[in-house]
Amino acid sequence: MIISASYRSDIPAFHGDWFLAALAAGTVAVTNPHNQRPYTVDLRPGAVGGYVFWTRNARPFARALAAVAAQGKPFVVQYTIIGYPRAIDANVIDPQLAIANARAIADAYGARVVVWRYDPILLTPATDADWHRANFARRADAMAGVTDEVVVSFAQIYAKSARNLATAGIAWRQADLDEQAALIAEFRALAAQRGIALTLCTQADLSAASGVPGARCVDAERLAAIAGRPIAAAHKGNRPGCLCAESRDIGAYDTCVHGCRYCYAVGDHEAARRRLRLGRRSAG
């Protein structure tokens, strides 16, 4: 089984000690976010094919990556690096720090371990299409040689995301399909010039309109290439159009304090901060 850690929270940034304890124990208790029922995920080396870590700051997670590597398990770090204004991403580290960390991970564990994420693309008066063009080019320059793939998507604003954006006084708009496709085509060319392939996360209509392939964020083939051996995993996406391999996610919603106003995983940013202060970890 592939373990996802986690698209519900930033475990590398905030819950590294919790993850290390779970890894040492060989099991982790997780609460189903839909029915609140607890279940146990087996983390013993014989049960795990590999790991996918999702983060905006893997710097606190160095010991955990080393521990996973010591077990002989392949891992991929899905590293989101954008650089939005603080009004949008309140507590995310400076992009230059994240890029330096991504480069260090690639140097230590291999060129295919880091996948850069430039998502979600949020269009606001302060971050319009021209801002994204210049910003993406700048980040792509820095990520050349660090990664061979960048995953992008346009923001899909759910009710709690819209509420958080409105509370912060941030106006946003949804571009039509033609505008999205044109911007993605520019991104694709910019990335290709730097040896980076661009893929789209779960946006089938945009993929068809732009010709950009869909992303496999939980990618058994990439993990197999890193490991040098097959990784068995069925295709089982998390939502319609998702191309990911089957995985078990061990995180919990409302446990990330990056303060990203568009985030689907946090309904109440103050509650998430309070939960972290009280020591309630990712699967708490």
Contact predicate 231/224, CB 8 Å: yes
- Quote the CA–CA distance of 38 and 29 in Å, as a whole number: 7
Q: Is-above-0.85 flag for pTM?
A: yes
Q: Locate the DSSP E strands across 56-211.
A: 75-80, 114-121, 149-154, 197-200
Tell me the backbone φ, ψ of residue 34, rounded to 5 degrees.
-90, -40
Using one digit for the tens of pLDDT, what is the confidence trace for 14-29?
Answer: 999 999 999 999 999 9
- Say which residue, 266 or 242, is predicted with more confidence: 242
pLDDT of residue 284 exceeding 70: no
- Quote the CA–CA distance of 67 and 64 in Å, as a whole number: 5
Nearest to 132 by CA among 173, 161, 72: 173
- Quote the CA–CA distance of 219 and 112 in Å, as a whole number: 11
Using one digit for the tens of pLDDT, what is the confidence trace for 108-124?
Answer: 999 899 999 999 999 99
Q: Which CATH architecture has domain 2-277?
A: Alpha-Beta Horseshoe (3.80)
Which uninterrupted H or E stretch holds 220?
A: helix 220-227
42: tokens are 């087996």
Please state the domain extents for the chain: 2-277
